[in-house]
């Protein structure tokens, strides 16, 4: 492989993370990265992962993880963090390089309200709480749950709004409705949360695919790691310090994850082994707020109508947060990959390295290379010889070469391709890939060999908060048990 070409993939990611360290309007990865989406946390995509499954015996599969609803405080009752029943959550796959979705997995939620009540001196009175007793450990133990969510998954072949739609089915009984576990309210309500969550893992039959996949949707511990407070305080840290010198600021936060495992051959097309992935969320174009909501009369506080309108989009980590200019962040969230040429200047002439040079005069020196061709391949085309499709249309998405074998959890390098591990970021993304450090280093020229052009090309830049594969599970759904709201 020509290693010269490997300089471009990481550069894009790094330009992204580097910016996340400076953009004071955002919070961690792509959490609350654009002005408008900060008003709609339930449909705010925070991270996307796509990797060859490294659970033993599952190497022929691809795991897709789309995280939504950022910065969940575990104690956030009484309503906690259900996803939006008035939205659709999509995971898109482009398997021929034309910047258009060929396969979409669409998830839609529904609220099941039992209206649990107590008899109080001859009157039946509805309770104000999410649950009135212990829950689980089996998914069918729902008698004490006042409100729960269930969902359906639809596979759409072709355009996500006009393509052929077929339901994803439970492989055990053929049903098309799946249950989402309640959030981790606390150890008294859920004494064995992980067993309870595991009961919500489904073997599923995927349309047009002879082999079953797996599915889990529910709360997980936030997998993203960053020294958030000091980073946002004008990078108030030692960027050349130890990689593990600082705590992970968001270690006590949870996230809601949509996790699918799909046979790799059911995602690819023909001889092309590279797929592109991105996730979006959409809401109805028209929103009506009822002035007199009434549950008993069926008057919901919000009514929605009209076509689905995309309000959130995420592929590569941190792109909208730290690469796209503030004025265009909402535009990016509403855009499609096939139109990404309009954002080219943000990649070829990135602002983050220049900001770092201003913040660390005499120490940080931005690469003197314009346009930044080392960033273009990873951002818009994938890297030649790594994860670039044979026939590619320039577009931003997380690209994975499914022909590259997974690396066991014990042998993964948390710097991914930069650390010699071709199964890691930016060839897809695994939970243990330290995208913050990778992107910091690439933004400052780690993939540019000429020190005269990139004086900091060998600097081991870090935010001081590290992550690795050892921090996660070795099997599906990979992400960790969420933090409980009480009881520890």
Contact present, 214 and 203 (Cβ < 8 Å): yes
Give the pLDDT confidence of 413-439 residue by residue, as tens digits: 999 999 999 999 999 999 999 998 998
User: Is the pLDDT score of 378 beyond 80?
Assistant: no
* Residue 407: per-residue pLDDT: 98
* Residue 34: per-residue pLDDT: 58
Closest CA to 150 of 202, 217, 55: 217
Q: Give 209: exposed, middle or buried? Use CB within 10 Å, 0-12, 13-18, 19+.
A: middle
Give the global pTM. 0.91
* Residue 278: per-residue pLDDT: 98
* Residue 2: per-residue pLDDT: 39
Nearest-angstrom CA–CA distance, 275 and 277: 7
* Residue 376: per-residue pLDDT: 84
Number of H helices, E strands in the chain: 9, 16
* Residue 379: per-residue pLDDT: 79
Average pLDDT, stretch 305-311? 95
Average pLDDT, stretch 154-180? 92
Q: Rounded to a whole number, what is the largest CA-CA distance in the chain?
A: 84
Sign, CA dihedral 5-240-49-472, equals: positive
Contact present, 245 and 60 (Cβ < 8 Å): no
Average pLDDT over the chain, rounded to an integer = 89
Average pLDDT, stretch 184-213? 97
* Collapsed DSSP state (helix, strand, coil) of residue 356: helix
Nearest-angstrom CA–CA distance, 104 and 90: 6
User: Is the pLDDT score of 203 beyond 70?
Assistant: yes
DSSP-assigned beta bridge partners for residue 155? 105, 166
The pair of structure tokens assigned to 118 is: 């107590």
Give the pLDDT confidence of 22-80 residue by residue, as tens digits: 333 334 455 666 567 778 999 999 999 999 999 999 999 999 999 999 999 999 999 99
The secondary element (H helix, E strand) that includes residue 435 is: helix 435-443
């Amino acid at each position: 492989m020509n290693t010269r070409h490997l300089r471009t993939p990481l550069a894009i990611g790094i330009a992204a993370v580097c910016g996340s360290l400076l953009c004071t309007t955002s919070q961690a990865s792509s959490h609350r990265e654009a002005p408008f989406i900060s008003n709609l946390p339930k449909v705010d995509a925070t991270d996307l992962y796509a990797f060859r499954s490294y659970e033993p015996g599952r190497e022929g599969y691809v795991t897709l993880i789309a995280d939504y609803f950022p910065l969940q405080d575990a104690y956030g009752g009484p309503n906690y963090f259900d996803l939006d029943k008035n939205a659709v959550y999509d995971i898109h796959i482009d398997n021929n390089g034309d910047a258009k979705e060929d396969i979409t997995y669409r998830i839609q939620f529904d609220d099941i309200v039992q209206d649990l009540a107590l008899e109080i001196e001859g009157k039946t009175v509805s309770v104000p709480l999410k649950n009135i007793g212990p829950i689980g450990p089996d998914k069918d133990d729902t008698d004490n749950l006042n409100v729960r969510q269930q969902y359906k998954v639809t596979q759409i072949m072709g355009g996500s709004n006009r393509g052929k739609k077929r339901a994803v089915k439970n492989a055990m009984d053929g049903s098309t409705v799946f249950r989402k576990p309640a959030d981790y309210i606390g150890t008294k309500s859920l004494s064995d949360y992980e067993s309870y969550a595991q009961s919500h893992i489904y073997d599923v039959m995927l349309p047009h695919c002879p082999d079953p996949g797996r599915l889990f949707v529910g709360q997980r511990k936030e997998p993203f790691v960053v020294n958030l407070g000091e980073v946002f305080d004008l990078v108030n840290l030692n960027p050349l310090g130890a990689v593990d010198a600082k705590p992970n600021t968001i270690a006590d936060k949870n996230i809601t994850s949509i996790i699918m495992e799909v046979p790799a051959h059911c995602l690819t097309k023909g001889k092309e082994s590279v797929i592109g992935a991105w996730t979006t969320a959409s809401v109805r174009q028209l929103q009506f707020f009822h002035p007199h909501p009434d549950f008993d009369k069926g008057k919901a506080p919000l009514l929605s109508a009209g076509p689905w309108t995309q309000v959130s989009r995420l592929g590569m980590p941190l792109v909208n947060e730290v690469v796209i200019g503030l004025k265009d962040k909402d535009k990016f969230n509403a855009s499609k990959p096939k139109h990404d040429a309009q954002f080219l200047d943000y990649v070829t002439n990135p602002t983050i390295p220049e900001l770092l040079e201003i913040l660390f005069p005499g120490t940080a020196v931005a690469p003197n290379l314009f346009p930044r061709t080392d960033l273009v391949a990873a951002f818009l085309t994938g890297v030649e010889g790594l994860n670039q499709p044979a026939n590619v249309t320039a577009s931003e998405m997380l690209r994975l070469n499914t022909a590259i074998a997974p690396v066991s959890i014990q042998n993964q390098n948390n710097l991914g391709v930069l650390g010699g591990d071709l199964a890691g970021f930016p060839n897809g993304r695994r939970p243990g890939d330290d995208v913050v450090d990778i992107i910091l280093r690439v933004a400052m020229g780690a993939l540019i060999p000429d020190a005269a052009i990139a004086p900091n090309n060998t600097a081991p830049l870090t935010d001081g908060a590290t992550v690795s594969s050892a921090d996660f599970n070795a099997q599906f759904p990979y992400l960790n048990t969420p933090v409980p709201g009480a009881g520890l």
